[in-house]
Structure 1
């Protein structure tokens, strides 16, 4: 494949530091075997399930100048966890006389739900699933990874109302080049993870990100209002003070004292919510976008866009321009959301960077610089100082 180019034929300005804000290169480990692994300066590599947490850790150690690691549990896999901090955990072998089989069945019947065409969850499907893992184990492991990697984020986390779990494997169908645990072309089952269970897993990871003051990369599909409500619940009581015009006039006239700004130490102290949130491949409406831009929100909200999601259907293509126009220039990020490093990922970045710059009226060089500054602010560090 030839060098990706801009529409006017000039070479794309990779040298200015292109940032991929959300991708999954550890899903195809062979794509990380070369050095350099990408023309992009930074790849924000997401973990999503048990099988890839250590792979993201290893990739970040092998490619420290390129990989920004993210550790988290994707909503598609939340059924594999149970909240052992709950007063009534969904998985409790002791309740069944140490019968793990009955306890496992109870867990999956409580956290999964069939769609309208299916009356109940088949026993055979439950048997194919592993015993669930304690949520506390995930949080403990994630904390260790975050402390090991000072630039690491929490991700990919979120909510998804549309997805269906894949059917179990039959015989040796797997593609050995891919990291286990994903769909890999398997037919879909009629079962979903209850949104209430997804919210419990999301909330625990948001609290960890707040504790360690790390940004998060958030997935949200067909659940935009619920997602906003779930995240907003974590910052209740911490909202920013927004002064009315009347209050500002009184302060200007000396009739009122201005509010005391938070100290730098208070700003960096642990909170129950993350300081920075990226809504990856943002696909909600402009109306929801405005809610995320409420000045009272005490977290900095970023919006990332990808060809893979935002240009994948006629519906998403039709609204992308209005949405991008509505995002403040300092809060836009670009991603590939692809599962393999290399030329396809680079081409996807070129296309989306070019579209964002066109919609915003930015020269491509200016746009790449702006988005890199946004990215560095999102991860909370000046990366060149790493």
Structure 2
């Protein structure tokens, strides 16, 4: 989602080339992957996906109104495996979508944790209304009045949502869990949107803010954490990566993840100890993962880095097969989308003991949309490992504007990293493929 206030960001493309200097042609042919976007918020734009220069869009679900929309777009445009993604020239309209199913923290109040239901409820005339009032009075702060509660939808059992999400993930083998996370800044908007009003923008999917004023009510962090951790556990169960939202909650978000991988940390062996053991017996200290790597035909020739395959196979180890995935209480990979923290927070996620690999994606609308974001952007990009940086649009409408945002942020990253555009987009492409497929 594009803004911590809940308002959609206008999709005006930032101007490029204002200094008058000629721009190097952007290498769309390499394959540009949008790691996080929301075009199902504007379903009228979906037909433009086939004409976009971007090779792939990772489309996020956020709330009750868009879960089925994301699934329907994936059924029409979704990839099923890595080979299909790479075969971009095999048809006039290649598959271009990876879906993500999850419940955004802005809407976390609409889920109630039925695992905490009281065994004995007090006797009331209207049980449904009583449970609704009790739920919203518990998870919102300050406690809302009756009129505000009446404007909210009936909450959905968390167990029901998780069951439905599991089925969607199983139906879409490349799907992520997302957008999920924590947000301390967001406040709920006032009132309901009149969906039958002639003044309403009918192109927008219902359920968003749609210009409503913000109330003083926010979702308590404890409830957000419960909803987040339930979805992280589902991702760990099915071995799916996640796309994470974090606004003014960097410490709480890290702690929530750390609580799930506690007891599963990797053993970090010093180089000195590795050398001592190497003199006696051969032992692999590269990872404590249960996955076993082998190597096959994949090599960097696919990215135009051009060495004979025999040399590439000696220099680049690439996964061929793995042992069957063992469910874990945490996701195998996570992308912190539009990462807005300082370098020291980013570095928390790079601890070699962490058993989940973390990636960081960046967008124009969030990372470069304010003076504060602009000021720290270069330092954050320099702190991000070359193999863990991704690009995204975070835009609510597909088409030319989305391509423009992707190009702009990619150019900025390549400039800061000192990469040529060809080299940089090859790196970012590989990063995304590793994030998605492991």
Quick check: TM above 0.5?
Answer: yes
Cα 1:14/1:256, change in 2 over 3 Å = closer
The 3-state SS of whatever aligns with 1:220 is strand
Matched, 1:192 2:184: no
Q: Aligned equivalents of 2:433 and 2:58: distance in 1?
A: 11
Q: 1:100 aligns to what?
A: 128
Matched, 1:38 2:49: no
Q: 1:310 aligns with which of 334, 343, 367?
A: 367
Cα 1:257/1:161, change in 2 over 3 Å = same
1:102, CA displacement in angstroms? 2.1
1:11, CA displacement in angstroms? 2.9
1:248, CA displacement in angstroms? 2.5
Q: 2:114 aligns to what?
A: 84
Cα 1:10/1:273, change in 2 over 3 Å = same
1:87, CA displacement in angstroms? 5.7
Q: 2:182 aligns to what?
A: 159
Moved more, 342-351 or 301-310: 342-351
1:170, CA displacement in angstroms? 6.0
Cα 1:5/1:162, change in 2 over 3 Å = closer
Q: 1:297 aligns with which of 342, 354, 357?
A: 354
Matched, 1:378 2:435: yes
Aligned residues of 1:93 and 1:103 also touching (Cα < 8 A): no
Moved more, 37-46 or 326-335: 37-46
Alpha-carbon RMSD across the aligned residues, in angstroms, is 2.3
| Aligned pairs for 1:213-362 within 5 A | 213-254=239-280, 261=288, 262-264=290-292, 268-362=325-419
Q: 1:126 aligns with which of 149, 153, 157?
A: 149
Where in structure 1 are there 5+ consecutive unaligned residues? Answer: 115-119, 382-386
Aligned residues of 1:161 and 1:221 also touching (Cα < 8 A): yes
Where in structure 2 are there 5+ consecutive unaligned residues? Answer: 1-11, 79-94, 293-321
1:61, CA displacement in angstroms? 1.2
Q: Aligned equivalents of 1:166 and 1:346: distance in 2?
A: 30
Aligned residues of 2:176 and 2:240 also touching (Cα < 8 A): yes
Q: 1:110 aligns to what?
A: 138
Q: 1:117 aligns to what?
A: none
1:263, CA displacement in angstroms? 4.9
Q: 2:73 aligns to what?
A: 59
The 3-state SS of whatever aligns with 2:116 is coil
Cα 1:331/1:219, change in 2 over 3 Å = same
Q: How many residues align?
A: 373
Q: Aligned equivalents of 1:258 and 1:18: distance in 2?
A: 35
Q: Aligned equivalents of 2:123 and 2:291: distance in 1?
A: 49
Q: TM-score, normalised by structure 2?
A: 0.80
